[in-house]
Amino acid sequence: MNFESNPKIAGSLLKQGLNSQIWPTAAFTQYQTLLPETPKPQVIIDGVVEFSTTTPENIKLLVRHYSFPIAELVKKMNQYSNNLMADMLAEAVGGPQVVAEKTAELIGVPQQEIQLINGSGLGEENRISARAATGIFLAIDKYLQQYNMSVADVFVVVGTDQGILDERKQLPNFAVVKSGTLDYVSALGGALPTKEKGIIWFTILNKGASVTELRNQQEILLKDVLNKWGVVESSPSELTTNPDRKTKTSRSEII
């Protein structure tokens, strides 16, 4: 609950979340992002939170929750660069070492080009070469094609999707990108549609004293590419999101 892996803390947050009478300010702030007139829950749970490592025999199912499809969760994760979600996703599929090994094998690069200590990329020990990062984008795009999707369905489309890239006004519209930032390090990769050369797959890794300056350099480079090969007026079909994705939402049902 709320990205907490500690069961007692997660349980306490769930208990609090189900009862709007004891919501903290942060909960009310999140409530304001929901549709107008969304009902406020008022389920009062007495007693203290307890947890068990095994499922009790007399358990009774009260509520079943259906999450967003994994593609939609990954899309939101990348839009807002949610590091906790990224770490959880990596752990769910075997851990960062397994992710690194399987990814290197899939895209055909030496193992030393993908070194991970977590799923979020936080930490200087996480190292991915520009070649490997570009290969990852291409592999994801190829995998999604069987579901009538593309990288645009799981990464940010500049000028269309909201998120942490909103502040980077100089990024070219219709590019599908993922950024990464550490102290003195800035990375940007993805797909850049051009009029003459089609889609340019790229990865830029910069290191220097100022992240702002590094980002400016990235944006200047992409502009130079577009000045040479032409700006597209609309997103190409290969980088257009699947409209059916928007119909898939999360929901809960009371048993």
Q: Give me the phi and psi of 238, to 5 degrees please.
A: -70, -20
Taking the CB of residue 68, how many other CB atoms lie within 10 A of it?
A: 15
- Residue 116 predicted with pLDDT over 90: yes
Task: Say how many residues make up the chain.
Answer: 255
Determine the 3-state secondary structure of 219 from DSSP.
helix
- Residue 246 predicted with pLDDT over 80: no
Instruction: Please report which confidence band the pLDDT of residue 103 belongs to, taking 50, 70 and 90 as the band edges.
Output: very high
- Hey, which CATH number is domain 70-243, 3.90.1640.30, 3.30.565.10, 3.40.710.10, 3.30.300.30? 3.40.710.10
Task: Find the mean pLDDT for residues 158-187.
Answer: 96
More confident residue, 78 or 249: 78
- Residue 59 predicted with pLDDT over 80: yes
* Calpha distance 128→134 (Å, rounded): 10
- 136's tokens: 């990852």
- Ranges of each domain in the chain: 7-59, 70-243
Residue 170 contacts residue 149 (beta carbons within 8 Å): no
CA distances from 23 to 15, 26, 29 (A): 10, 8, 10
Percentage of the chain lying above the pLDDT 70 cut: 100
User: Tens of pLDDT along 219-234?
Assistant: 999 999 999 999 999 9
- Residue 162 predicted with pLDDT over 90: yes
Query: What is the average pLDDT score of the chain?
Result: 94
Residue 218's pLDDT is 98
